[in-house]
Structure 1
Amino acid sequence: MSNIIRNTSGAKRAVPKVLEQRTVADTKKQRILPTRTTTIDEKKSQLLEMMIRLEDMYHTIRTKLGEEEANVHHQLEQKQKQKELEWQEITKQTYREAEEQGYASGYEAGMQQVHFELSNQKQEMEAMVKGAYNKKEELIQSAEPFLLSLSTAIAKKIMLNEMEQNPETMLSMVKDTLKKVQDRGEVVFQVSAEDYQHMVPMVDELEKQLDVNASLKLIPMSDLEVGSGLVHTPSGSYDISINSQLSEIKKQLLSMFEERKTDEH
């Protein structure tokens, strides 16, 4: 999911402070890399599993809210029936009193009052049901971005921790990016100062992913975060940082939620 940044002619950019640089010698030495216990693909798989669990949580919340809505609706219906029974009793009582007293006009006025009160009660109950439904939708919509932000934050922490324990984990991400580079000549790979010492033994292996006429230069940068990397070629630059990877995943999942929400409506 690398994000490519095309060169813009004439644009000036601030040059980050370069701590030191190392140019790969023409004679490449074969190096034996440590066995990787966890690949970046497995990390992505774990992230997707986490997203699935959060989606299950989201469906559980929706189900519970739906049950609450049904419960509220049932209670309102019971209250409405109770009110109707009460007003029916009042109507009968009014009729009896009017009949006993012989005041037809009084009976008619009482009936009008009863109908007026029943109409108001019905409108109030309908408003309560509508309000409960709207509140449920608001809770669902507000929960989706929060769950995604939480999951990506957790995933970032897990991946950074994995890279600290197994620095070679970043190798797979860099390889996938370098395979896309078609340029010849010098290719510059910038990493954080913390990652630099771990990437030095892997340079020869990484350079094998490039064209035979291309060379790779590894440079530590003081302004890059751990797990971040930039590959600069004559035709453009590639961002292979963890943040860009997770941002792309989050963007796709949000798009998926929006499409599903549109389908539901």
Structure 2
Amino acid sequence: MESIKDKIDQLARILGKQPVKDPNLDYKSLRAVYEQQANNDVRQLQQQAKKQRIDNIHGRSDLNPKWTFSNLVEDSEDVIEAVSIAQSFIAAHDDPDWRQSGSHMMIFYGDYGRGKSHIAGAIAHELIDQYEISVLYRQLSSLLELRMSSFDFNAQDNVGEKFREINSELLNVDLLILDEVCVNESVLKKNTQSWLGNLLRQRLVNHKNCILITNHNLEGLEQALGPYCFESIKEYDTYRVKFSGPSRRKQLSQLEESASYTSTYQPNQVR
């Protein structure tokens, strides 16, 4: 007749484990050993599953993988201040009450090449890694082009269905980053103002956060978006971050020269 130890050893072999060789171990000790092994296996599976979820969120986000804080050069006061605000925004996600208290919007505004998109992307990467926040990065101009194409009922490339799928993502993703808002536009068309305003209002109701990136100043942004759309922005807890430092993009002359050598978190509401 098999002893309890024989049965446990047999079970261990079935599970691919090494039998416990110490004959002096009693049943409780053996049980503790295998429970520990089982717990270790469960933790490992949980870690693998979490990594897979995070990888999937990164894959769907459309973020530039180089937009991280480690790749950011804090060489001016505006960038240093923006990073401080960004870190506070990220840290606030530790508080469940803050996350459920309302909808939050960051507005990054300033001239080209100041690091607005980079810092927004760095925020997104951190939120994905730390909190598994779903993120979607889109340029508003490309969305509007796709939206206009969706009205072509003779199109053969299912553009209408594609836009409906993207529009659903725009509504439901935890953090929406809209870049190049009103780029080269002094005023959006009325139907575009209504669509964007409705999108922001629905996200507001569902406690979804946004980052808007624009080259306009706040007055110019209000004029470009129109009253209806801009009023929806005012409903959010808004954080305005101005970028006024030097451009971080190399000039053509610099690129040519280089080639010759180398083959506490309080909203500052929009008023």
TM-score range, shorter chain: under 0.3
Larger radius of gyration: 1
TM-score normalised to structure 2 length: 0.24
Please state which structure has a larger fraction of its residues in helix.
Answer: 1
TM-score relative to the length of structure 1 = 0.25
